[in-house]
């Protein structure tokens, strides 16, 4: 029995060393960028954060702040220095770089890179769907997306690249065999997009030196797009698919192929745990818990919007 406990303790200790358990931040707070509303959502307010992104981060053990668009530079500097990471959600901005969403994201993107370069300041950023596309465009300094991708309401297994062995999101030491099998053999990753980033335009614009591509997928017409990528030197991650939907979107009015199987949920939960684990490495913080409480999502009321959109709930902001 003593041998068994000794082995278990060794495994736990090794896992802690791998995942930076010592000195980590056990009260991570992550921001979710808001976006301009369109069409049927305008009546609720000028900007929105879809609630499933908030729940997704909370499921990994983080608290959440809704980051407003169209604010002063000082506002974003304040939040950058107070938060432990940022999630850029999916959406349908027509000109993503010129939108309030894109402009605010660029401020965080630039500060994350600058801080890492200067003094190793760790500030992770995660982009989902349009957030993933925005990260590629920010790295390139221009919109590099291709249109006409036929991947709306499409669940797929990931097609791994040769660089997958270097993946941090799906590190061999932290990814279970069950998750690995689910994401590569089952329709466990959900796509909902008409734009995308390809290997060709990644290379054309020189950001193949910035991002490592760990998986690709093909749309219904056989057009290949990048589905998972991560920066070589920075804690910046992009997924074209929607892990949050596997766990938290059930809209009965949407003709949806969102996978809700145990396997699909395990893949989604793995990514939430990963990104929150990254946020734990950040030493940024609010001046006090009282100050943090003024910014936390708990100050906002989620609105049921399934009758007006493909989402269950949203948080609507006044800017």
CATH number of 55's domain: 3.40.50.880
d(CA 313, CA 49): 9
Is 2 a member of any domain?
no
Is 50 a member of any domain?
yes
pLDDT(278) > 60: yes
Give residue 23's pLDDT.
60
Q: Is 270 a catalytic residue?
A: no
pTM for this entry: 0.93
d(CA 226, CA 119): 31
pLDDT(5) > 80: no
d(CA 16, CA 53): 27
Is 238 a member of any domain?
yes
Catalytic residue among 129, 132, 270, 284: 129
Give residue 53's pLDDT.
98
Is 15 a member of any domain?
no
pLDDT(7) > 50: no
pLDDT(312) > 50: yes
Is 217 a member of any domain?
yes
Domains: count for the chain: 1
Judged by average pLDDT, the poorest of 3-7, 140-144, 210-214, 264-268 is 3-7
Is 22 a member of any domain?
no
Q: Is 16 a catalytic residue?
A: no
Judge whether 137 and 174 are in contact, CB under 8 Å: no
Is 8 a member of any domain?
no
Structural domain including 193 reads 27-317
Q: In what order do the strands lie in the sheet with 35-36?
A: 35-36, 47-50, 313-317, 303-304
- Name the more confident of 87 and 7: 87
d(CA 248, CA 54): 10
Catalytic residue among 16, 132, 194, 242: 242
Please write the tens of the pLDDT for every residue from 146-197: 999 999 999 999 999 999 999 999 998 889 999 999 999 999 999 999 999 9
Is 101 a member of any domain?
yes
Judge whether 124 and 168 are in contact, CB under 8 Å: no
């Amino acid at each position: 029995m003593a041998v068994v406990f000794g082995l278990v303790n060794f495994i736990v200790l090794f896992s802690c060393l791998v995942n930076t358990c010592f000195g980590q931040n056990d009260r991570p707070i992550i921001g979710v960028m808001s976006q301009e509303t369109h069409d049927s959502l305008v009546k609720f307010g000028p900007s929105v954060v879809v609630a499933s992104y908030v729940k997704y981060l909370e499921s990994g053990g983080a608290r959440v702040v809704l980051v407003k668009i169209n604010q002063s530079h000082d506002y974003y500097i304040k939040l950058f220095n107070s938060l432990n990471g940022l999630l850029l959600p999916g959406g349908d901005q027509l000109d993503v770089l010129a939108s309030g969403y894109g402009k605010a994201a660029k401020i965080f993107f630039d500060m994350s890179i600058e801080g890492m370069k200067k003094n190793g300041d760790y500030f992770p950023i995660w982009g989902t769907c349009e957030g993933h596309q925005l990260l590629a465009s920010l790295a390139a300094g221009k919109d590099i997306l291709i249109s006409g991708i036929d991947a709306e309401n499409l669940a797929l297994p990931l097609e791994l690249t040769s660089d997958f062995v270097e993946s941090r999101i799906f590190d061999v030491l932290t990814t279970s065999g069950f998750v690995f099998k689910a994401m590569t053999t089952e329709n466990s990753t959900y796509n909902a997009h008409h734009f995308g980033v390809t290997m060709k335009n990644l290379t054309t614009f020189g950001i193949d030196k910035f991002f490592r591509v760990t998986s690709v997928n093909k749309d219904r017409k056989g057009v290949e797009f990048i589905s998972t990528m991560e920066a070589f030197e920075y804690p910046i991650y992009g997924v074209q698919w929607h892990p949050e939907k596997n766990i938290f979107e059930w809209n009965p009015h949407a003709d949806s192929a969102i996978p809700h199987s145990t396997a699909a949920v395990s893949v989604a939960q793995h990514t939430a745990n990963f990104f929150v684990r990254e946020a734990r490495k950040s030493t940024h913080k609010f001046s006090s818990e009282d100050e943090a409480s003024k910014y936390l999502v708990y100050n906002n009321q989620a609105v049921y919007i399934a009758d007006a959109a493909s989402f269950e709930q949203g948080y609507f902001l006044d800017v």
